[in-house]
Each structure stands twice: as structure tokens, then as C-alpha cells.
Amino acid sequence: MSLFLTYVVSGIATGCTFALVATGFVVIYRVSRVVNFAQGVFAVIAGMVASSLLTRNLPHGPAEVLAVAVAALAGLAVGAIAIGRPGTPPLASLIITLGLGIGSYAVIILIWGDQPVSYSGLPGLARLEGISIQLQFLLVVAVTAITFALLSLFFDHTYPGKALTACSSNPYAARLVGIDVRRMGLVAFALGGALGGLAGVLITPLQPVSFDSDVGIAINGFAAAIFGGLLRPGTALVGALVLGVAEALVAGYYRASFESGVALVIMLGLMVWRASRGAIAEEPE
């Protein structure tokens, strides 16, 4: 039983990082209708930046905040290139973000090399119900909870947040009331970058990241995001927790190498099931 609880707790923690990546996908997709293939890259960049800053003796806290800011800038840059030219169809934008993701490998290897990096997170263990939990897990869960609370305040109670929601529900009407839809798209990309970066600084102490870790991170985030049809952050959070726990259980009880297979199979099954119900059949091209 305690083994089971350990798996569940670590699953919830990984699920929280998936949720942050998934929300990044959702925020960007809602406003710009672009699925950002470079979403995993933000996490990798933030992890790398944080680790560099920490080795230069910057304390924990400022290092992570700076790293998230860099990721937000990276998000802004990706957005500017992907939706900068008006009239770029979403599928072209998808391929552009894919290109930016691959191109970023070059930059990452150039700066940080091709070896995985990591740094120590919050040290220590907490004891709960007879099992010991890494404090870093609790930190991940707490940060995710706070982020989701802030996001919900932002989207429901501030003008920029409401403008973003307006752009996602009807871009044309949003333009009529004077919202710059393209600028809002860029804001969404920056926010998506920051969320990806946040996931990155939280993941890196748990599992080292290297330049090509982004594919795995993006796949898990995307799988979680489609629980909510790429539109609802709340459902994406639920999906991410389910995914994280399922992966931890499979890795714990069955075989670690099947861990990533869980996300893939759940994702495929979910997409096909939704498509067969016509939920995502119509895709504006």
C-alpha cells in the first residue's frame, strides 16, 4: 500500500508538470489556433538557464524566475515568427514551430552542449501516512496549484485576460471592440513560454534534461491538453494528473520503458475516440 501511495504521489507531481506544459499548449491554441510544436523547448531552455545561473552562484528563487522570464521571451520570439505574417494558415504555422523547435537544438547545443543537465531541487523528505515524499514533489504541486489559481484570476478578472478569452471565442468580434488580435496572440505565446519554462525549472531537478528532451515533454503535455480538446485548461489539469499517475503506476509495477507508451496510447485512443464522435472532426484550415 505504501508503495502504491509513493507511486501515486510521484505521479501527481509529474502530472503537475504535464499540466503546466498542457496549459501552455491551450493558452496559445485558444488565441492563435496554432499548436506550438516548440512547447517542450521552453521547458528545456528554462531548465538549462536555471542550471547555468545556479552554477554561477545565483540563489534558488531568482535563478528560476530569470529562467522562466527567458522562456517567456523565447515564447514571444516563436510567436513573432509563427504568426508574425498575417494570413499564415495554421498548418504552416505548425510546421514553422516545428522548424523553430529543431533550430533551437542548434542554439541549445551551442550554448550548453549535448549532455543532460540537472541541479538539486528542494532537499529533504516529508513523512506522510507512513511514506516519505521528496519535498521537491510537494513544491511542484504547490507551484502548480498557485499558477492555476493565478491563471484563473487572470482570465476571469483582468482586462488582458478577458481580451485573450475574447480573441479565442471570436477573433472578429474581438477586433470590432478594439482588441489587437495579433498582439494578443503574441501575449499568449509569451504566456505559453513562461508556463513551459515553469514546468522546465520544476522538472529539471527530478529528471535531467538534454536538448532533445522536448519531444517527450511536448508529447505528454499535448496528450494532457487534448483531454480538454485543447481549449479548457481545467480539463487539461485533470488529464495531466490522470496521465502522470497512470505513467507512474505502469513504470512502478510493470516496466519503466513502457512509461512513455502510456501517454502515447492514451493520446491516440482519446483523439480517435473524440474524432469518431465528431468532436474534433471539423478543423478550420
Partner 1 sequence: MRALRGRPPTFWMGVVVALVSLVVPVALNDSQLTVYVFIGLSVIVVAGLSLLMGFAGQISLGQAAFYAIGAYTAALLTRALGVPPLVSLAAATAFTAGVAVVVGLPLLRLRGHYLAFATLAFQLIVLSVIGEARGLTGGDTGMPGIPTLSIGPLAIQGQYRAFVYAYVTWVLVVGVLLFNRNLVRSRPGRGLRALATSEAGALAAGVPVARYKLQVFALSAAYAGLAGGVYAFFVSYIAPGSFPVLLSIQFLIMATVGGLGSVWGSAVGAVVVYLLVQVLQSVGTGPGLPPQLPAILSYAVYGLVLVLVMTFLPQGLVPALQARVAARRQVSALEAQARGQLD
Write out the residues near partner 1 by the rule CB under 8 A: 35, 37, 81, 85, 88-92, 94-96, 98-106, 109-110, 113-114, 215, 219, 222, 226, 257-258, 260-261, 264-265, 267-268, 271-272, 275-276, 280-281, 283, 285
The β-bridge partners of 132 are 127
Least separation in angstroms between CB 248 and partner 1: 18
Instruction: Let me know how many helices (H) and strands (E) the chain has, helices first.
Output: 11, 2
Cβ of residue 161: shortest distance to partner 1, in angstroms?
25
CB of 38 to partner 1, least distance (A): 10
| Length, in residues, of the chain | 285
Reading phi first (left if > 0) and then psi (alpha if -120 to 50, else beta), residue 170 is in beta
Q: Given the complex with partner 1, which of 58 and 94 has the nearer CB atom? A: 94
- In this complex, which beta carbon is closest to partner 1, that of residue 100 or of residue 188? 100
Residue 265's Cα: distance from chain center in Å? 19
Q: Measure the CA angle with vertex 77, ends 73 and 79; round to 5°.
A: 115
> Which residue number, 28 or 163, has a Cβ lying nearer to partner 1?
28
In the bound state with partner 1, the residue whose beta carbon lies nearer, of 88 and 207, is 88
**Nearest approach, Cβ of residue 258 and partner 1 (Å):** 8
Closest CB to partner 1 among residues 42, 222: 222
How many C-beta atoms lie closer than 10 Å to residue 274's C-beta? Answer: 15
Q: CB-wise, 85 or 183, nearer to partner 1?
A: 85
Task: Of 260, 199, 227, 215, give the one whose Cα is nearest residue 13.
Answer: 199
CB of 214 to partner 1, least distance (A): 11
DSSP strand E in the chain: where?
125-128, 131-134
- Label residue 269 exposed, middle or buried (CB < 10 Å: 0-12, 13-18, 19+): exposed
Q: How far is the CB of 134 from partner 1 (least distance, A)?
A: 28
